[in-house]
Amino acid sequence: MISDGLQHYIKANLACNPFFKLSSEALGSSIRDLHIWFREDRTLTDLVIKSLRGGLSSVILLTAPFGYGKTERLLLLKQIAAEAGYTAVYIKADSQEAWRNLLKLRAVLSEALQRRMLLRIPLLRAPFSSTDDLLGSIASLLAKLSPCLIEIDEIEKPIMHVKEEASMFLYLLHKILESCNVTLLMAGAPGTAEQIKALSPHFYAKISHVVKLRPLTFREAMEVVSKRMTAYRIKPTGEPLFPFTTEALRIAYRESSGNPRYLLRILHKLLTLYVCDDSQAVIDADYVVSKLGFEKTLAQGSPYEEYFRKLEEKFGSNIFTYIQASRALKLPPNEAYELLEEMVSLGIIEKVGLKFKLRSHSS
C-alpha cells in the first residue's frame, strides 16, 4: 500500500520532496552525489591536496554568507582527503571558549588515531591539568597522524565575542601549527579574515589563501535543482526539471538572490503545495508568483514575527551577537545562530560584520 505522502509525490514523479534536507549534515553520504562542482571548489581542493602533499603547515580560509555551502564543502573535502590516504578531522567551533574547542579537536584526533590503529578500546587518559598539557597531547596525536587535515567550521563563533578568549584561541592554534605539519582549513562568515587580522596579526600572516564563495548563477541553480530531483525520481524522465518550468525556476532563483539554501527552501515550499493541489498540472510562473506571496508572508509571520519582537524589545537599534540573542530568545546558541542566519537570508534582519542588527533599525 502506498502512503498518502508518497501518493502525493507520484504526481511529480518523485519518491519524496527532494528539497527536504537543507543542511549538509542531513545529506550524509549523499553529499558527493548531490554536490555541483564550481571553479571555487576545484581551487579549494587543489590548495588542500597540495598542502597535504607538501607536508608543511598552512592555513586556508573559506568564507561565505550563511546558506552558501561552506559546511558541505568541508565535509566533501574531508572525504576526498581521506580517500587520498590522509587523516582528516572536522569540528564545528560551537563554543566561545578556547579550551572547549581544543578539547573537541583533541577528541576527534584521538578517534582518528584509534581507527588507524584498529583499536576497539578508546584511548583514555587523565583530565588535562593545563593548556600546555592539552597542547602537548594534541601535538603527540598529530605526530602520529601527520600529514593531517584539520577542518574547523563556523570559526567566526569563537572569535566574535570576548577579545581575550578569541585571541587565546588563535594563539593556541598558532602554537599547534608551529609544532606540527598540519593543513588547517577554516570556514567562516564574511568578515572573518578581518576579525582574525585585528585579533592576531601573527596568525593572520599564516593564512595562505582566502577562498570566497559567490552566489549561484541561474545556470548553476538549474543544475542544483536538476541533480536533486533526478536523485529522487521514481522513473527516468526526459524532463529533468518537471514539474517546474524554466520560467518558474527563474523567479524562484531571483527571489533567492542566488543563495543555495534559500533557493532550496523556496522550492521545498512550492513543491509541497503543488503535490496537494489537484488543479495544478505544473509549477509555472503564475503559480510561483502567487505562492511566493505566501512565502514572504510566512517569513515575516510566525515564528519569525515573535522572534523579531523579542529581539526588538531586548536590543532595539543596538548591534548584538548570536550569544546575546540566544539568551534573549531562550534558545541554545547553535539554534539561535541558525535562526539569525535564516532571518538574514529572508531580509528580516541584517548582518553587521560578524554581528546582527534589526533591519527596521538599520541606518
Between 226 and 9, the higher pLDDT residue: 226
Alpha-carbon distance of 187 to 75, in angstroms, equals 11
The pLDDT value given to residue 346: 66
202's grid cell: 601573527
The pLDDT value given to residue 58: 94
Confidence class for position 303, pLDDT limits 50, 70, 90: low
Alpha helices in the chain (DSSP H): 4-10, 24-27, 31-34, 39-54, 70-83, 98-116, 131-145, 156-159, 163-179, 192-199, 201-204, 218-231, 246-256, 260-275, 285-300, 304-315, 322-329, 333-345
> What residue type is assigned to position 155 of the chain?
I
- Beta-carbon count within 10 A of 305 CB: 12
- Give the domain ranges of the chain: 4-18+232-300, 24-212, 304-361
Q: What is the pLDDT of residues 321-344, one digit of tens each?
A: 999 999 999 888 877 887 888 788
Mean local confidence (pLDDT), 7-36: 77
- Beta-carbon count within 10 A of 352 CB: 12
Q: What is the pLDDT of residues 220-257, one digit of tens each?
A: 999 999 999 998 899 988 899 999 999 899 889 888 88
Q: What is the pLDDT of residues 62-71, one digit of tens each?
A: 999 999 999 9
The pLDDT value given to residue 31: 75
Determine what percent of the chain is predicted with pLDDT higher than 90. Answer: 47
The pLDDT value given to residue 213: 93
Homologous superfamily assigned to 24-212: P-loop containing nucleotide triphosphate hydrolases (3.40.50.300)
Confidence class for position 172, pLDDT limits 50, 70, 90: very high
Beta bridge partners of 351: 356
6's grid cell: 508518497
Contact 48, 183 (CB under 8 A): yes
The pLDDT value given to residue 354: 86
Beta bridge partners of 59: 184, 207
Nearest residue to 112 (alpha-carbon basis) of 126, 103, 122, 102: 122
Confidence class for position 129, pLDDT limits 50, 70, 90: low
Beta bridge partners of 188: 63
Alpha-carbon distance of 232 to 234, in angstroms, equals 7
Most confident region among 131-135, 292-296, 314-318 by mean pLDDT: 314-318
The pLDDT value given to residue 114: 86
**From the candidate CATH numbers 3.10.450.50, 3.40.50.300, 1.10.10.10, 3.40.50.10210, the one assigned to the domain spanning 304-361:** 1.10.10.10
Confidence class for position 27, pLDDT limits 50, 70, 90: low
Determine what percent of the chain is predicted with pLDDT higher than 70. Answer: 88
Q: What are phi and psi of 186, to 5 degrees?
A: -115, 150
Q: 150 — alpha (psi -120 to 50), left (phi > 0) or beta?
A: beta
> What residue type is assigned to position 112 of the chain?
A
Cα atoms found within 13 Å of the Cα of residue 132, Cβ hemisphere only: 0
Lowest mean pLDDT among 90-104, 136-150, 198-212, 334-348: 334-348
Confidence class for position 34, pLDDT limits 50, 70, 90: confident
Alpha-carbon distance of 15 to 34, in angstroms, equals 16
The whole model's pTM is what? Answer: 0.78
